[in-house]
Structure 1
Amino acid sequence: MSSALPFVPTGTPRGSSGSADSPASPASPVPALLDASSVDALRHDLDAARDLLVEAFSTARRPLSGITPDAAAALVAEVDLDRPLPSTRAVLDEVRDVYLDHAVWFHHPHYQAHLNCPVALPAVVGDVVSAAVNSSLDTWDQSGPATFMERHLIAWTAQRVGLDDTADGIFTTGGTQSNLHALLLARGEALAAGAELSDLRVVTSANAHFSSRKAAMVLGMGEDAVLATRVDERGRLDVDHLDEVLRRQRAEGRTVMAVVATAGTTDLGCIDPLASVARACRRHDVWLHVDAAYGGGLLTSRRRRHLLTGIERADSVTVDFHKTFFQPVACSALVVADRRTLRHATHHAAYLNPVDDVAEEIPNQVDKSLQTTRRFDALKLWTTLRTLGPDRIGELLDTVVDLAAQVREDLVGDPDFAVVPHGDLSTVLFRFVESDVAPATLDAVNEAARKRLYATGLGAVARTRHGGRTWLKLTLLNPATTLGDVQHVLDLVRGHAREALAATDRPQHTGEVA
């Protein structure tokens, strides 16, 4: 398939140390700062870095080296940070030896572990430009047109969500910060309406991301202020139970300041019934936040956009562009339906964004943000959209979701594996099984298989707990990964699991479900 992602065919191994044929350019003095007098050095050093990256990507034969934490720590500890190297070439040689030779390569088709994506080539270009210019998006006088480019992208995202022209938002570092920001705003609305902080509650499903609990801790409410609903047979929020929880909390004199629905759970990749959740929130007059950190890319899918039906009724939405929009970390956004709610994150500092700026309508983004200094992370999304267009991003996402569906279907008929047979996105939960072996033993076998695979560097899968048992997880976010690539990794897992099982005492089955 034609791909705009930096996936390249596997090749020969890289050397582990600098050599005469290194792609880095000949030695040159390292300039102290980037300014008009150092543009020639900038050109030289960017060329050297480009060559190093091209070599690294094109010769990555496996997704990781298998280096252990102890070995990596020792490798890094050998570097004396008080003694700078004499040239950019020397620095890049060291970067290769210490970092690139042992990096985890998300573009490799056998990396199938976490929610990490290979990145769109135009995004890399945008990121280089933003890093070099170093705009700070907190105030207009530090960013210029970058402020309006970010605002334009927020408006585009809000329009894709289905919000009207009262919407607004801000770029953030990731889903955890976006979710924290959303709950800060919801808390502000609840307190403004007369609620007491000690009475505030947040309701999520049992499968929601842990960031809601972290946010409650940060916001002074405590982790116990987050209540979990039951989930249905597909792992989605149970709306009937949500209604019950909301009624009970009100009857007991507490205020549910927000319901957090999930559009793409981390483990199962399921999307809560957003329209039904929205109706429940309207009945009970509760803020609805949709955590679409994972599933937000469906906003660009012509085939699966309907899975997000109901998201347009949310009060706030998290979208992580560095997941299913194929952007480099960090690139996320919080979008709100009513821009006035962003006032709960506003503080006016005389030296930065004084109140007078509001009267003069000076567009300071720090008025909306939890951060002060903030990178121009929106530029990489801008360059991606302007090069590929949203339809192409949607096609890339559909490719990995299709692949996950095919893998689930195939695993249903594989006697060596149990599989969770449903999911809306690109994760697949599976587990090596043996009919006469106790489930607790199989837990250990599956974890051992994952560790053994990682140690070889030939593949990577993740692990989690589901139904009280250890499961392995494929997270497929590389459109260049084929069914054959997945089958290869599964065969490696199968082999390592059998070896791990052979090394156990094989306790007999206890009657529990494997």
Structure 2
Amino acid sequence: MVNTTEKSPVSLYDSFFLHQGEESVQHFRNQVELVINTISDAFQDSDRPFKGRTAQEIQQQLHDVLNVPEDPQSLHEVLREIEEPVIRNSLHVSNERSMAHLHCPPVLPGVLAELIIGALNQSMDSWDQSPSATYVEKEITRYWTQLVSFPEGADGVFTSGGTQSNYMGMLLARDAFCLSEWNHSVQIKGLPKHFHKLRVLCSEEAHFSVKKSVSQIGLGEQAVIPISVDEGHRMDPMEVRHVVERLEQEGLLPYVIVATCGTTDYGSIDPLDELAEFCKEKGIWLHVDAAYGAGLLLSQEHCHKLASLERADSVTLDFHKWMFQPISCGMFLVKERKHMRLFAHHADYLNPLEDEDDGILNLVNKSVQTTRRFDALKVLLTLKVMGTRLLGQMVDRTMEVAQFAASELNKRPAFYVENSSPELSTVVFQYQSEGSCPAGELNRKIQQMLFHKGETIIAKTSVRGETFLKFTILNPRTSEQDVSVVIDEIEATAKQIIGGTYH
């Protein structure tokens, strides 16, 4: 317990803030060292990605920790309390055999940048709250517009991730359509008379945030038209053309097509060039969800798979997926800067119009958020400390291991691989048995049993109504040997279940 009875209010407050005093700086160093030691011990003491405890066991362990005291406790005491129930019960995504979701191991420059971000606590809404950070974000955004090969007039903003970026794409495309077609400002007047006719087309494999976003912007889920996919789980451009023509005949208004560059399950890339050509012909906004596939922008071997990305009107990028950043860190890009004005609202106390006359950049004008974190610093630090060549090699390495995984699974007769030639770094497969246990039920049990053993973490998904298993390989430290061991574990677990020794 921290003794506060003999301290004046000022000196007591001093000990909880980082400020210019020498005593404060030393206190900060000591506390950071305590945290580093606690995290390091947790990593060194475990060679598994998860402890394997059940939800009930974890909740029970957390019970006493979550009691909130009236008086301060020492950081050392609190860290000791949370070390087992919180830190050691967390999923260790940096483990080589954690290969379940689009949930990457963060690189150290990004982790260290988080400390700087927290200590500086810049608010990215107005320039006078983030004087240097504003221009760091501006230039890092410009860097990515150039990497996408957008023209000079492009723009963008950091977001919390793919869901927010996709939301911004749907919102911006809607408002731009209403302005160009009906000279109607949704910002000022609300939804136009014929808003119920607006339609959004996307792959049936598109991220759920597309439908979620369209429902949130007032069009309803019924406005989303799913397009069938080919055997490679890519959107069929001929089907897109047929559907658009049918919608037009019905008097409906398809205003945006969403192409996915890296679907969540299969890593599939929709045919960007054909879709872009069709959108140009029809005057339809093309939004590309490259939250996953954006990692290919740095790839030396596979960047060609993003050909025609520059033809999109807007793009979603995520840095906390395949670019190894701590959550959260995403970006929304738009080809024409003028469209970002559709997000702008002015407040006298924050971003008055006079600021624009004076050339002051307030990033709140480009965002659906007000207060935002200085996430651009994570990307800057990572790019500078690691360089783009090494980051690209890391992306390529994960694809190499994913291709090995698909090949190895194909060699084993008990497995069926849904995407035997993975386009990115995910592999979807099923263990199939001639036994009495249905394949879907068997694979669900396999995933659950492995999770609670904690030695390897894989995902499950649904394919044609049946449970399949999935590798998502985002860790460049994951080796072919790791994959082989995990496949062996899956086989052994399946046989154990079939044999009736696991319930």
TM-score by length of 1: 0.90
Partner in structure 1 of residue 16 of structure 2: 32
What are the within-5 Å matches in structure 2 for residues 206-245 of structure 1?
206-245=204-243
Q: What secondary structure, in the 3-state scheme, does the structure 2 residue paired with 1:228 have?
A: strand
Runs of 4+ in 1 over 3 A off after TM superposition: 435-438
Q: Is residue 277 of structure 1 aligned with residue 275 of structure 2? A: yes
Of the candidates 461, 470, 476, which is equivalent to residue 479 of structure 1?
A: 476
Amino acid at match of 2:53: I
Deviation at 1:437, TM superposition (A): 4.7
Deviation at 1:179, TM superposition (A): 0.4
Q: What secondary structure, in the 3-state scheme, does the structure 1 residue paired with 2:416 have?
A: strand
CA contact under 8 A between 1:30 and 1:88: conserved in structure 2? no
Measure the CA separation in 1 of the matches of 2:475 and 2:268: 19
Deviation at 1:83, TM superposition (A): 4.3
Measure the CA separation in 1 of the matches of 2:215 and 2:134: 32
Amino acid at match of 2:15: P
What is the CA deviation profile of residues 382-431 of structure 1, one whole-angstrom value per residue up to 9, with x for unaligned ones?
00001111121110010001110111111112112111212211001111
Measure the CA separation in 2 of the matches of 1:46 and 1:436: 55
Measure the CA separation in 1 of the matches of 2:220 and 2:352: 33
Measure the CA separation in 2 of the matches of 1:29 and 1:343: 42
CA contact under 8 A between 1:199 and 1:253: conserved in structure 2? yes
Equivalent pairs counted in the alignment come to: 476
Partner in structure 2 of residue 52 of structure 1: 38
What is the CA deviation profile of residues 425-484 of structure 1, one whole-angstrom value per residue up to 9, with x for unaligned ones?
10011111013557xx11111001110111111111100111222100000011011111
Measure the CA separation in 2 of the matches of 1:357 and 1:171: 21
Partner in structure 2 of residue 435 of structure 1: 434
Measure the CA separation in 2 of the matches of 1:474 and 1:149: 36
Once structures 1 and 2 are overlaid, which stretch shifts more, 489-498 or 183-192? 489-498
Deviation at 1:85, TM superposition (A): 5.1
Q: What secondary structure, in the 3-state scheme, does the structure 2 residue paired with 1:330 have?
A: coil
Q: What secondary structure, in the 3-state scheme, does the structure 2 residue paired with 1:323 have?
A: coil
Structure 1 segments unaligned to the other structure (5+ residues): 1-27, 505-514
CA contact under 8 A between 1:204 and 1:228: conserved in structure 2? yes
What are the within-5 Å matches in structure 2 for residues 372-391 of structure 1?
372-391=370-389
Amino acid at match of 1:434: S
Of the candidates 90, 98, 101, which is equivalent to residue 111 of structure 1?
A: 98
Measure the CA separation in 2 of the matches of 1:167 and 1:246: 28
CA contact under 8 A between 1:169 and 1:336: conserved in structure 2? yes
Deviation at 1:497, TM superposition (A): 1.8
Deviation at 1:30, TM superposition (A): 9.6
Q: Is residue 492 of structure 1 aligned with residue 479 of structure 2? A: no
CA contact under 8 A between 1:63 and 1:458: conserved in structure 2? yes
Q: Is residue 62 of structure 1 aligned with residue 25 of structure 2? A: no
Measure the CA separation in 2 of the matches of 1:29 and 1:486: 51
Of the candidates 171, 175, 185, which is equivalent to residue 172 of structure 2?
A: 185
Measure the CA separation in 1 of the matches of 2:262 and 2:403: 15
Measure the CA separation in 2 of the matches of 1:130 and 1:273: 38
Partner in structure 1 of residue 7 of structure 2: none
Measure the CA separation in 2 of the matches of 1:186 and 1:291: 14
Identity of aligned residues (%): 38
CA contact under 8 A between 2:435 and 2:498: conserved in structure 1? no
Partner in structure 2 of residue 13 of structure 1: none
Partner in structure 1 of residue 398 of structure 2: 400
What is the CA deviation profile of residues 53-75 of structure 1, one whole-angstrom value per residue up to 9, with x for unaligned ones?
22222222100001111111222
Measure the CA separation in 1 of the matches of 2:13 and 2:158: 37
Partner in structure 2 of residue 259 of structure 1: 257
What are the within-5 Å matches in structure 2 for residues 140-219 of structure 1?
140-192=127-179, 193-194=181-182, 196-219=194-217
Measure the CA separation in 2 of the matches of 1:71 and 1:449: 21
Q: What secondary structure, in the 3-state scheme, does the structure 1 residue paired with 2:201 have?
A: strand
Measure the CA separation in 1 of the matches of 2:450 and 2:77: 33
CA contact under 8 A between 1:417 and 1:431: conserved in structure 2? yes
Once structures 1 and 2 are overlaid, which stretch shifts more, 401-410 or 349-358? 349-358
Structure 2 segments unaligned to the other structure (5+ residues): 1-11, 183-191
Of the candidates 440, 452, 455, which is equivalent to residue 455 of structure 1?
A: 452
CA contact under 8 A between 1:204 and 1:229: conserved in structure 2? yes
